[in-house]
Chain A
């Protein structure tokens, strides 16, 4: 039996229609192995790719042909066919794999997170930068609240001077970032990811890095 006939049999729509794509894929892989053994990969690859296309069309009505790219489903990157099987086709020289993208994912469940600048300690996005008053005459430096009087004027607690005037008596410098939730203090907020599926908060530098590939017909 020639490989060409085999492929025609294998891509019979009734078999795919049976809801047995796994079996169809296995047959396609078997065909790929036979072709490889007989050194006829180039001859048969077009037929096998056509078979794959039909199979994919059956499973994914929106499939428009190669290259096959991962798509986002339930916040995970998925291919319509298991990557392990696609990689087997790559190994047999039927498909080619090319780098498509690299994404940062939740370190626990590998789902896609949302990313924001936030507190590196607790992940809270509610950070603000301290504002500090530097009183020139006595060198006192403290937060604005420390100087603020109930009537809105400013008074230095160190030297007791009242009614301070900006730029003449004091200036305002920005201090460190402070987290409203956990009182963390630091120079800058860090990028914090929150997983859309398991709600885990994590620093972006600790995220799982995943390569995304696209599969093309050779």
Chain B
């Protein structure tokens, strides 16, 4: 067996080596693994060699905006969980055309809890305009957007507003984790994915200053920053849009790993497909179309960090994702069938090893290792899930480039999406 392997390896030409491992060694590993290892090393170094002073707690007034549509099962629980969880908290619930008793439940809560406002819209107008409606009544320095089906970690609101102490910060992204990780294989993969790409990925982006997304499920925005652009634009992907707009007006966007929000991830691959199609279309909609001016080197609002974010998205999420299929086809056509299985095994093995390293990095940044370790055990198979996500992304990107399908998404009601500017 070993002799066979040695014989096989000796018959390899260097170009075959490069051809087989270019994807993993030149692109995926540096971008997603080496970067994170460097991050850990820098962290360990700064932890040991610099003196940390605990800053004074910062308590700005906060207005939590919850836009909900048919959320009668969770709204009362969400309101109870965040009420009184922060000293200066106003809560505004916008019932965006629910047909169940969401409004009645929220209103019954507001009757006995001061500082809770409930606004009803008889006709659905979309999440962005629901938040904009709430902005008319928000009297706080910080706007917090929440999903009504999420659960929040202890002190999450206090923690998410702490980075706003820095007057240059305009938006803070909270850490989104999967609540129902054990529900199905699909949610298990997502739990690992969220830890990998949201927790560690955003710590990395935030640290090097290129973070450009604050998930709408749990994000804090400085009122001054949102008001300058008159609030949210119509979605889908309105959270990515507002964050890029805030960046364009000169603010910083940071990530706060200790502010945790637990969300229910789709339990079936079919639902996941729909969700990711929506998310990935936004890549094209905002980075290639609406906000492509962040790549204009001579624009007055040009920022190197925004440009790096844009280049990262365009190269790794658009070009590499679609390029992967061309690469795979070339690989299969050119490779010798006799050796294909060996090469594939080596590639899979490499990805598994990289997955193991990534799991270690997750453990380093995890807020609760006992909880996150369970999710990390899926790492040997994660590459197959990642391949599935890349397939979705490829379809979404091509579909959006050709059809502008995000403007046909029922996430925004028809009368609104027909009127919005089709970027």
Chain A interface bracket (under 10, 10 to 19, 20 to 34, 35 or more): 20 to 34
B392 surroundings in chain A (CB, below 8 A)? none
Contact (Cβ within 8 A) A137 B420: yes
Number of B positions contacting A (CB below 8 A): 30
Instruction: Say whether A143 contacts B129, CB under 8 Å.
Output: no
Report the bound CA distance from A187 to B117 in whole Å.
7
Interface positions of A from 178 to 217, Cβ below 8 Å from B? 185-187
Q: Given the interface contacts A137-B421, A139-B234, A140-B132, does A171 sit within 8 Å of B123 by beta carbon?
A: yes
- With beta carbons under 8 angstroms apart, the residue of B107, B126, B415, B418 that contacts A139 is B126
Provide the main secondary structure of the chain A interface. Answer: strand
Known: A136-B416, A141-B132. Is A173-B121 also a contact (CB below 8 A)?
yes
Contacts of B107 in A (CB 8 A): 187
* A136/B415 in contact, CB under 8 A: yes
Interfacial chain B residues near A139, Cβ < 8 Å: 126, 128-129, 132, 231-234, 238, 416, 420
Q: Give the residues in chain B near A132, CB-CB below 8 Å.
A: 133, 136
Q: Are B133 and A137 in contact (CB under 8 A)?
A: no
A140 touches B137 (CB 8 A): no
On chain A, the residues within 8 Å of B122 by CB distance are 173
Contact with B along A74-113 (1 / 0, CB 8 A): 0000000000000000000000000000000000000000
B135 in contact (CB, < 8 A): yes
Find the B residue at minimum CB distance from A170. Answer: B419
The distance in angstroms between the C-alpha atoms of A158 and B416, with both chains bound, is 16
Q: In the complex the two chains form, is A134's CB within 8 Å of B125's CB?
A: yes
CA gap between A22 and B415 in the complex, in Å? 80
Q: Does B118 contact A (CB under 8 A)?
A: yes
Specify which chain A residues have a CB less than 8 angstroms from the CB of B123 in the assembled complex.
171, 173
| C-alpha spacing A168/B419, complex, angstroms | 8
Question: By the criterion CB–CB under 8 Å, are A136 and B419 in contact?
Answer: yes
Determine the chain A residues whose CB is within 8 A of the CB of B230 once the complex forms. 138, 140, 157-158
In contact, A136 and B117 (Cβ under 8 angstroms): no
Taking the complex as formed, is B110 at the interface, i.e. its CB lies under 8 A from any CB of chain A?
A: yes
Instruction: Give per-residue flags for B118-151: 1 if the beta carbon is below 8 A from chain A beta carbons, else 0.
Output: 1101110110110011011100000000000000
Q: How far is the CA of A200 from the CA of B310 in the complex (A)?
A: 63
**In the docked arrangement, what's the CA distance between A195 and B125, Å?**
44
Question: What sequence of 0s and 1s flags, for each residue 104-148 of chain A, a beta carbon within 8 Å of any chain B beta carbon?
Answer: 000000000000000000000000001010101111111100000
CB-contact partner of A186 in B117, B133, B418, B421, under 8 A: B117
12 pairs from A and B in contact (CB 8 Å cutoff)? A130-B136, A134-B133, A136-B234, A136-B416, A138-B420, A139-B238, A140-B231, A142-B132, A157-B230, A168-B419, A171-B125, A187-B107
Binding site for B on A (CB under 8 A): 130, 132, 134, 136-143, 157-158, 168-169, 171, 173, 175-176, 185-187
Nearest first, the 3 A-B pairs at minimum CB distance are: A136-B419, A158-B230, A141-B132
